[in-house]
Amino acid sequence: EAVLALSWERPHLAPLMWQRVERQLQRIRDELVLPAPELDALIAGQSIACKTNLKVRLAAKADREANYVRLASPWAKEARYA
């Protein structure tokens, strides 16, 4: 959401922002001692699970009614900074 908001009307900035995010995540991973399979998967370009709270909240329902969707990693080969 932050990259989308910050690159609104300046789409050429989005790839640069995603590159920085990717590098920062890799730096964080390099410092971790314990296993971090979710972070490893994200860095490797796998999709991540995201909760769909917005529609539930707009309908004034309980958050527990929200579903999960798979969000493609922006640096996955098939989505590279799309």
- % of the chain residues with pLDDT over 90: 54
Cα–Cα distance for residue pair 27/23, rounded to 1 Å: 6
Q: How confident is the model at residue 79 (pLDDT cuts 50, 70, 90)?
A: low
Q: Per the confidence metrics, is the pTM higher than 0.75?
A: no
Would you place residue 17 in the very low, low, confident or very high pLDDT band (cuts 50, 70, 90)? very high
pLDDT range class, residue 39, cuts 50, 70, 90: very high
From residue 58, alpha-carbon distances to 36, 53, 66, 68 in Å are 34, 9, 11, 16
